[in-house]
């Protein structure tokens, strides 16, 4: 390929809206261009990288025994209604109506479609296990797209789905996908950490995310500083440490005036009392009932944990009007003492060890001090509701403390069980003649997000440094004098040798100054380069360079390919 005939427009400056290195460099290097917020066009270089990432994923999925399919983007509303996700999936899918009035969504995921497909064609245990996958465009109506390809409305995803006869079979399929993911990310040059996670709108269990730790990631990862515990912020927990001695309950609680003190900080300053001695009472509408969730004053409530604890399909904070109706007080003064019997009180386990604490009085501008569980109100049950925090005791070991890192989610695997197969009739006839629901697993990789993550991991102040496995071209030949026919012939001969050896080659024969060509080569990030210039014309030597660590050497033209192949071993 000749650069003079190629479409690769580079930019000297990054767009103003680009905040992280991958966004800046992919735009500057001529890989992508924004169409609108969260939607990008892939230019030729970017498409080549995307396709190379796809190929790595495809090879490892095939190696693991998965079979590729390609499903429709338009998914009918009726399927999603059968699983109950038409109204509950978040973020809400992009929807469209055809000329007959039939509703569809633009697929954000394909559990319904794949399950319906298999339900039609697979009926016997002899046809299982089966794992199907696709690499396809997905659509999610993100409220705040960010980070270039990190969080977008339209993206390329690999999604796979396994079907087995029982849990033991699912475990084998799950482990096969786990091993495939490890190989995929190793080949892509991405160091990943596997963390515990939530399944979210997909449902399921044994959820694991493959995280690329990076300061520009949008996810928070909690890691133990002493053992291998790691979890994302949605499900991270910490050990509750029972104090050596418990404070004795005092006398009856006392109501005090706290005018305008609607926050923990305001009450703490007014009473001169630490937030750890207070309780937040947070009222939620959970399906068709109300729940009071209690966490310590210095803690934040984790709504995902609350939803899991209550088994809610829908969960939202109570409105100001609902709070007034339940407590008789405005927002900011709710407390567990005297709540109506129909309000279930669920408390975080840390509450169990508090004594003589402060709560809202269910009366405007008033709080109660000296409150105790059991004497002044009853807790229906205890459940982990708190957001983990840096410095918390590790839930897995005795010695460790939790620390936080930022991460980019690259892959997600989880067990679906029979949630979709039961809803959509994906049944098989067992060896003993009984009909049973297939046991499913789900496995996703953000293919286009991988492109951005690779840049985040492999760049410097000059530009991108692609690993050879995903580079748009493995080698660039910088022809510094394209008007010199002898040098052109040398470039063409070297390109032919390299292509015969399996490399994809770009010859930069543009009518540009050498400095421009060097800068573009570093910006675009070709892993290997050969410089044909003055030294070549004078004494038959070329410069052979490796982008990753700027290693370079001079070699005779006849030895250039061999020397470059040696450098390629560490490219």
Write the CATH number for 41.
3.30.930.10
pLDDT-derived band at 247, boundaries 50, 70, 90: confident
315 and 346 both lie in a single domain: yes
Pair 183, 265 in one domain: no
* Confidence grade of residue 313 (pLDDT, cut at 50, 70, 90): confident
Average pLDDT, integer, range 381-387: 95
Arithmetic mean of pLDDT, 186-196? 94
Residue 507 CA, chain-centre distance (Å), reads: 37
Check pLDDT > 80 for residue 323: yes
- 290 shares a domain with 375: yes
389: Cβ contacts below 8 Å, ≥ 6 apart = 238, 299, 402
In a domain, 186, yes or no: yes
| Inter-residue contact 521 to 478 (CB < 8 Å) | yes
For residue 380 the two structure tokens come to 């229906």
CATH number for position 469: 3.40.50.800
Residue 36 pLDDT: 93
Instruction: Please compute the mean of the pLDDT values over residues 311-321 and round it to a whole number.
Output: 92
Same domain? 373 vs 332: yes
Is there a single domain that holds both residue 423 and residue 534?
no
Q: Say yes or no: 44 and 183 in one domain.
A: yes
pLDDT of residue 203: 57
Asked whether residue 249 is domain-assigned, the answer is no
Same-domain check for residues 333 and 450: no
Q: How many CB atoms sit inside 10 A of residue 459's CB?
A: 19
CB atoms within 10 A of CB 34: 17
Interval 458-466 mean pLDDT: 96
Q: Do the domain assignments include residue 9?
A: no
Say how far apart CA 4 and CA 427 lie, in whole Å: 58
Given a cut of 70, is residue 416 above it in pLDDT?
A: yes
Same domain for 437 and 534? no
Where in the sequence is the domain holding 336, given as residue range(s)?
254-382
Residue 76 has pLDDT above 70, yes or no: yes
Q: Are 46 and 25 in contact (CB under 8 A)?
A: no
Mean of pLDDT over the chain: 94
Mean pLDDT of 416-436: 95
Confidence of residue 125 (pLDDT cuts 50, 70, 90): very high
Q: How confident is the model at residue 204 (pLDDT cuts 50, 70, 90)?
A: low
Q: From 16, 40, 139, 132, select the one nearest 451 (Cα to Cα).
A: 40
Q: Give the contacts of 489 (CB within 8 A, at least 6 positions apart).
A: none
Q: Average pLDDT in the 515-534 region?
A: 95
Counted domains in the chain: 3
Question: What is the pLDDT, as a whole number, of residue 242?
Answer: 81
| pLDDT score at 175 | 96
Nearest to residue 278, comparing CAs of 194, 207, 350, 184?
350
169 in the same domain as 42: yes
State the average pLDDT over residues 89-108.
92
Instruction: State percent of the chain over pLDDT 90.
Output: 87
Number of C-beta neighbours around residue 395 at 10 A = 18
Question: Where does a domain end: 430, 455, 480?
Answer: 455
Residue 109 has, within 13 A of its CA and on its CB side, a CA count of: 24
| Cα–Cα distance for residue pair 404/406, rounded to 1 Å | 7
pLDDT band for position 538 (cuts 50, 70, 90): confident
Residues 12-17, mean pLDDT to the nearest whole number: 88
User: Which pLDDT belongs to residue 361?
Assistant: 96
Per-residue pLDDT at 201 exceeds 60: no
In a domain, 2, yes or no: no
Is residue 243 pLDDT above 70, yes or no? yes
Per-residue pLDDT, 56: 98
Residues 155 and 41 grouped into a single domain = yes
Is 125 a member of any domain? yes
> Do residues 299 and 310 make contact, with C-beta atoms less than 8 angstroms apart?
no
Q: Answer whether residue 507 is part of any domain.
A: yes
State residue 248's pLDDT score.
82
Half-sphere exposure of 229 (CA within 13 A, CB side): 25
Confidence of residue 200 (pLDDT cuts 50, 70, 90): low
- Residue 199 is predicted with a pLDDT of 66
In terms of domains, do 66 and 134 share one? yes
What's the CATH code of the domain at 357?
A: 3.90.960.10
- pLDDT at 249 > cutoff 60: yes
User: Virtual CA dihedral for 60, 64, 69, 70, nearest 10 degrees?
Assistant: -40
Structure confidence by residue, pLDDT tens digits, 292-308: 999 999 999 999 999 99
> What is the per-residue pLDDT across 469-523, written as a single tens digit (0 to 9) for each?
999 999 999 999 999 999 999 999 999 999 999 999 999 999 999 999 999 999 9
Question: Does some domain include residue 242?
Answer: no
Residues 304 and 349 in one domain: yes
DSSP run (H or E) holding 543 = strand 541-546
Residue 371: both structure tokens together = 């409150």
* CA dist., res. 230 & res. 194, Å (int): 7
- Residue at 123 is within a domain: yes
């Amino acid at each position: 390929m000749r650069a003079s005939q190629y479409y690769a427009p580079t930019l000297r400056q990054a767009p103003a809206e680009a905040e992280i290195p991958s966004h800046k460099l992919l735009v500057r290097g001529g890989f992508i261009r924004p169409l609108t917020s969260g939607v990008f066009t892939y230019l030729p270089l970017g498409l080549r990288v995307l396709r190379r990432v796809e190929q790595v994923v495809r090879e490892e999925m095939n190696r693991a025994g998965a079979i590729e399919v390609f499903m429709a983007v338009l998914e009918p509303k009726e399927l999603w209604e059968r699983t109950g996700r038409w109204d509950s999936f978040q973020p809400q899918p992009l929807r469209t109506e055809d000329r007959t009035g039939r509703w569809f969504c633009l697929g954000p995921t394909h559990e319904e479609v794949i399950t319906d497909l298999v339900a039609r064609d697979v009926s016997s245990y002899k046809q299982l296990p089966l794992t199907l996958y696709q690499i396809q465009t997905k659509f999610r109506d993100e409220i705040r797209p960010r980070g270039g390809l990190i969080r977008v409305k339209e993206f390329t995803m690999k999604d796979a789905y396994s079907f087995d006869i029982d849990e033991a079979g699912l475990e084998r399929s799950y482990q096969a996908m786990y091993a495939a993911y490890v190989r995929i990310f190793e080949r892509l040059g991405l160091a990943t950490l596997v963390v515990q996670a939530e399944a979210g709108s997909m449902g399921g269990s044994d959820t694991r995310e493959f995280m690329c730790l990076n300061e520009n990631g949008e996810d928070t990862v909690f890691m133990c500083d002493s053992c291998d515990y790691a979890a994302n912020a949605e499900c991270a927990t910490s050990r509750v440490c029972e104090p050596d001695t418990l404070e004795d309950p005092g006398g009856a609680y006392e109501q005090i005036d706290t005018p305008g003190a609607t926050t923990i900080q305001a009450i703490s300053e007014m009473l001169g009392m630490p937030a750890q001695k207070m309780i937040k009472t947070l009222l939620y509408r959970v399906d068709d009932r109300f729940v009071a969730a209690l966490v310590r004053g210095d803690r934040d409530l984790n709504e995902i944990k609350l939803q899991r604890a209550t088994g809610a399909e829908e969960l939202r904070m109570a409105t100001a009007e609902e709070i007034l109706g339940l407590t008789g007080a405005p927002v900011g003064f709710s407390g567990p003492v005297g709540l109506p019997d129909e309000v279930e009180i669920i408390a975080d386990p840390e509450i169990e060890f508090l004594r003589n604490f402060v709560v809202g009085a269910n009366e405007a501008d008033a709080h109660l001090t000296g409150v105790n569980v059991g004497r002044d109100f009853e807790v229906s049950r205890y459940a982990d509701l708190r957001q983990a925090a840096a410095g918390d005791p590790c839930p897995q070991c005795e010695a460790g403390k939790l620390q936080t890192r930022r991460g980019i989610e690259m892959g997600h695997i989880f067990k679906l069980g029979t949630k979709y197969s039961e809803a959509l009739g994906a049944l098989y006839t067992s060896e003993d003649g009984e009909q049973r629901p297939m046991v499913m697993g789900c496995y996703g990789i953000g293919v286009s997000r991988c492109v951005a993550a690779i840049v985040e991991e492999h760049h410097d102040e000059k530009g991108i440094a692609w690993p050879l496995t995903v580079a748009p071209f493995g080698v660039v030949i910088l022809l510094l004098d394209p008007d010199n026919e002898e040098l052109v012939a040398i470039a063409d001969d070297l390109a032919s040798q390299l292509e015969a050896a399996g490399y994809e080659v770009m010859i930069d024969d543009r009518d540009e100054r050498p400095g421009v060509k060097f800068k573009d080569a570093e910006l675009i990030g070709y892993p290997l380069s050969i410089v044909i210039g003055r030294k070549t014309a004078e004494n038959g030597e070329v410069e052979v360079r490796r982008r990753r660590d700027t290693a370079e050497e001079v070699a005779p033209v006849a030895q250039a390919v061999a020397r470059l192949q040696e450098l390629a071993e560490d490219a």
